[in-house]
Amino acid sequence: MGGYSSEVKRKTISADQAAELVKSRHWVDYGFGVAQPDLFDKALAARITKLEGVKLRGCLAMRPRAVVAADPEGRHLTYLSWYFSGLERALHDQGLCHHIPMNFGEAPDYYRRFNDVDVAVLKTAPIDEHGFFNFGLSVTYHKALTEKAKIVVVETDANMPYVYGVENGVHISEVAHVIDGGQSPLPELKNTAAGPIEQKVAALIAPHIEDGACIQIGIGAMPNAVCDLLADSSIKDLGVHTEMFVDSLMKLYETGKVTGAHKRFNRYQMSYCFAAGSTRMYQFLDRNSACFAGPVDYTNLPGNIMQNDRVVAICNAAQIDLSGQACSESAGIRQISGTGGQLQFMRGAYASRGGKAFLCLSSTYERDGRRESRIVPRIADSNIVTTPRTDVMYVVTEYGLVNLKGKSVPERARALISIAHPDFREELERAAREYRLLCRTNF
């Protein structure tokens, strides 16, 4: 604690006392991912039925939120999320969680310009010798959040990694109260194992990644399968500039494939704004000079992404139509996740010198016992377009890889039909002609 022990002692209160700070009609913010509070959450749950009109913001919750469970009919609390985890998706299905659309890289600006915050409660590392509580695994928009909040409370956890970077902590002078959270296991995110489809997609992408490329990968088995393939290849001197740091990036670094020697932005370091994965990965990030954690407007703005050469962005899509517009966050009116950083990385990667942006999807999915095509003539009613057709570059399924940049609508339709599941190609072509996406001749 250095010379700050007396101030920490003076500001330390119990979780129950901290929960008393929340009043009716307050905006409360739990922050992002692993950094959401647990002791405070339970304490607020114990008194939420005494309050009215409380609005709670979160993002990518990795543990069930006790305060939401304590108000199962949503009479006292409205819970909102910037990006759904599986837990928040389930709450949304029950009518207990609402989505806030955003481009992730703009989140700090939203807080500084538009969002009211009465009480912000964040899980952090314990205070360091300079008086800072490090944001650890969730730098994201937390600095902007602490600037805007009327009351800032930190719930410390000795297991939270201490990360190097910028805007990665809040000083004791800006903190109203401290909850001593002791030391408890942090929530982990298990990576889905890659199956045959993911491995085929990865095998199509990997040859397009050159020595010295700077990679970004998203959540899911497909992007992680690419890392696994690269780890076993002869590639060298990769860089990393990503939104989310995951286990496969750590493993790629440990194989010696990542040096960052050709990066222009944070050269020799792997840049990211949040991490979620295994405990071993959390330990890897702790005080690791090879890693650089910055706010999401540092990692995700296209103007920063494009400063590195040969950026390769690898993201997932759930549905794409024959003109090229892609849905990655919803199934009709059902919100699945969020826009996150996909659109900004698609744009930043393409704008970089020699950059490439990939959207990956399996050709089909199962619904109500029927197999359906993810490549469709037109976007399903009420589905949300995450990436406009003008921003889509490479599209990859297990049946092939096509580049849509510079292609006309008929050329796009032909290209996408060629990588659809064979059982659906005739149907897609018939629909494309019906919608006049295909001409009678030439294409």
What is the SS3 assignment for 271? strand
Give strand pairing partners of 375. Answer: 320
Cα dist from 174 to 17, 133, 169, 349, 395, whole Å: 19, 10, 10, 37, 46
pLDDT bin (cut points 50, 70, 90) of residue 2 is low
pLDDT at 223: 79
Give strand pairing partners of 215. Answer: 240, 312
- pLDDT, one tens digit per residue, over 297-344 is 999 999 999 999 999 999 999 999 999 999 999 988 899 999 999 999
- pLDDT, one tens digit per residue, over 258-274 is 999 999 999 999 999 99
- Rounded Cα–Cα distance for residues 66 and 57 (Å): 14
pLDDT at 116: 97
Number of other residues whose CB lies within 10 A of the CB of residue 339: 21
b/e sequence 108-118, b meaning 16+ C-beta within 10 Å:
bebbeeebebb
Over pLDDT 90: what percentage of the chain?
A: 91
- Rounded Cα–Cα distance for residues 401 and 357 (Å): 12
Residues whose CB is less than 8 angstroms from the CB of residue 147 and which lie 6 or more positions away in sequence, other chains included: 111, 112
Six token digits for residue 245 = 């740091």
- pLDDT, one tens digit per residue, over 376-392 is 999 988 899 999 999 99
User: Exposed/middle/buried for 336, CB within 10 Å: 0-12, 13-18, 19+?
Assistant: middle
pLDDT at 332: 84
- pLDDT, one tens digit per residue, over 220-255 is 788 789 998 999 999 999 999 999 999 999 999 999
Six token digits for residue 180 = 């001593």
User: Exposed/middle/buried for 433, CB within 10 Å: 0-12, 13-18, 19+?
Assistant: middle
> Dihedrals φ, ψ of 165, to 5°?
160, -145
- Rounded Cα–Cα distance for residues 282 and 245 (Å): 10
Q: Which domains does the chain have, with CATH numbers?
A: 2-180 (3.40.1080.10), 196-434 (3.40.1080.20)
Mean pLDDT across the chain, nearest whole number?
95
| Single pTM value for the model | 0.95
pLDDT at 339: 93
- pLDDT, one tens digit per residue, over 269-297 is 999 999 999 999 999 999 999 999 999 99
Residue 441 has pLDDT above 60, yes or no: no
Over pLDDT 70: what percentage of the chain?
A: 99
Scan for tokens 């929960």, then name that residue: 19
For 281, how many CA atoms within 13 A lie in the half-sphere containing its CB? 22
- Active-site amino acid positions: 243
